[in-house]
Structure formats: structure tokens, C-alpha cells
Amino acid sequence: MRVAVVQTNPVFANVKSNLEEVCGYISREHADVFVLPELFNTGYNFIDAEEVAAFAETADGPTYQKMFSLAKDRASYICYGFAEKADRLYNSAILVGPEGLVGLYRKVHLFSREKLFFAPGDLGFPVFDLPFGKVGMMICFDWIFPESARSLALGGADLILHPSNLVLPHCPDAMITRCLENRVFAATANRVGTESRGGIVLSFIGKSEIISPRGEILHRLGDSQPGIGVADIDISLARNKQVTEFNHVMDDRRTAQYRLT
């Protein structure tokens, strides 16, 4: 199967142009799954919860309708991050395919000022069956908690879809370890550019990437330009959890020896 990460440079609050930017990439490239960044339609650097509320959409809102129609046109799956308006405001990701909504994920580990705007995710780390394998989602800062990727792997995910708006430098290299320790693929779609709003300046580090269960960087984009990265992956590699003849990354866990709290 072919997976693609779309690296964007969104214009804050310009949902129309941000959607057009990704529609261009998705219309020109073939992939079975496209991964887009966190909050790809609005931009990231919100000033307050009122502003988030003004841009947040329901899971079936206008951005979903656009992505659903694109998924049908391209016979592909699309995973994207957006501000979700539900009982509360969530930093969420949707996986949509030609048949409609496949899954919703709400960011469990909120980063920095996101805690002022969003409620922490309450759906756990669900895993979804696609025709070519099992996938799950995590969003950006979830990477720093190994439990996120581990929960997805324990749920059977072969491929982690990882919409991001990374500002710290460590994640692209850390995801190599996440893939190695779980023997899964991961596709991290990040953004580039700077957002300066309300006296807060954030620069995003790019380096969107696709990593294999052996920790190989199958594709990594640069740190300043938008673009798209694709890789053809053999999903069956993620079903082999054997590290050596004697070591299995799941079966060798010594859960009775671990401290969870």
C-alpha cells in the first residue's frame, strides 16, 4: 500500500485557502492513505477559547464534507486534524474514506496552551480496520508518552497516523524509537512556517516522515517547505513482532514487573 504525508504551511483562519492547499496535493498524487497535519484547516496558534469556538466544527461539518468528497473522488483514505465542536472543544483527528467516516480520535495529551482551549481526549486510542491493514491515530505531542503508540500497537495497529504541528525538535527522531519498540509503521504529517498571534510566536519544524517497523526513515521532508512525501509499504512487516529468534516485543513484556502509576 502507499501512504502519503502532506506537509502544509496554513494561513491562520483562512480555512478556504488551507483546504485548497491540501486538495491540490491530494488531487495530484496517488496514495491509499493521506495524512494531513493537526488543525490543518484553521492553523494552530489560537488566542483564547472563544476564538477556537468560532472556528471549531462538528465531526460532520464543512471540512468533513470536503474531505469526504475528496476521499470518494480519489478512492483514498484521508486522516486530518481539526478543532472539534462537541459537548466540549477537542483537538481531534478524523479518518474518512470513500465509504464515509471511519474513525474519530481526540488528542489525549494536550500541549502547552492547548490546555487553555481544549478538553483532553476521552475516546482512548481506537484502532480501525482498513482494506489493507489496521490503523490508529495519535496527535502531535502524544508522541512524548510512549503509552500512546503502545496502546495503538496493543490494539493491533499496523500503521500509526500522526497529524502534527510540532514545535519541539525531538519528535521526528523519537518516532523512530516508537516504531522500533512497537514494530509498527508511522506517518507523521507536520507543518512548516511561523504563527505570531497575541504576542506568542510559534515556529513549526516540518520534517514530516514515514517510518518503518525496523526504524528506517522511508521518507522525510525538509524543515521549511510545504510538500508531500510518499512511501510504498509492506504492512505485513508490522505483523512480525520478533526482534530476534528469542525476543518478541509484545510477548516478552513483563507486565507484573512494571510500575504503571
User: What positions carry a catalytic annotation?
Assistant: 38, 107, 140
Placement of cell 500512546 in the chain: 148
Supply the minimum distance, in Å, between the C-beta of residue 25 and ligand ACM.
21
Q: Is residue 111 close enough to count as binding ligand ACM by CB under 6 A? A: yes
Binding region for ligand ACM (CB under 6 A) out of 92-100, 163-171, 226-234, 239-247: 163-171
Is the distance from CB of 44 to CB of 22 less than 8 angstroms? no
Among 7, 63, 165, 188, which residue interacts with ligand ACM (rule: CB under 6 A)?
A: 165
Decide if residue 161 touches ligand ACM (CB under 6 A): no
Among 15, 137, 140, 179, binds ligand ACM (CB under 6 A): 140
Whether the CB-CB separation of 73 and 40 falls below 8 Å is answered with no
> Contact region for ligand ACM (CB under 6 A) — 48-56, 72-80, 159-167, 177-185?
159-167
> CB under 6 A: which stretch of 70-78, 145-153, 161-169, 242-250 binds ligand ACM?
161-169
**Which positions from 167 through 206 interact with ligand ACM, judged by CB under 6 A?**
167
Contact 136, 161 (CB under 8 A): yes
- Residue 226's identity, in one-letter code, is P
Nearer to ligand ACM, 98 or 120 (CB): 120
Of residues 22-51, those binding ligand ACM (CB under 6 A): 38
Eight-class DSSP state of 191: B
Do the Cβ atoms of 196 and 70 come closer than 8 Å?
Answer: no
Rounded distance between C-alpha atoms, residue 136 and residue 240, angstroms: 18
Is 128 a binding residue for ligand ACM by CB under 6 A? The answer is: no
Please choose, from the candidates 154, 156, 150, 208, the residue with its C-alpha nearest in 3D space to the C-alpha of residue 180.
150
> Three-class SS of residue 65?
helix
Helix axes 146-154, 171-182, angle to 10 degrees: 30
**Which among 98, 97, 65 is positioned nearest to 82, based on CA atoms?**
65
Name the segment binding ligand ACM (CB under 6 A); options: 56-64, 65-73, 164-172, 245-253: 164-172
Considering only residues 67, 71, 166, 210, which one is a binding residue for ligand ACM as defined by CB under 6 A? 166
Contact assessment for residue 188 and residue 209, using Cβ atoms and an 8 Å cutoff: yes
Q: Shortest approach of ligand ACM to residue 111 CB, angstroms?
A: 3
Q: Which residues bind ligand ACM (CB under 6 A)?
A: 38, 111, 140-141, 165-167
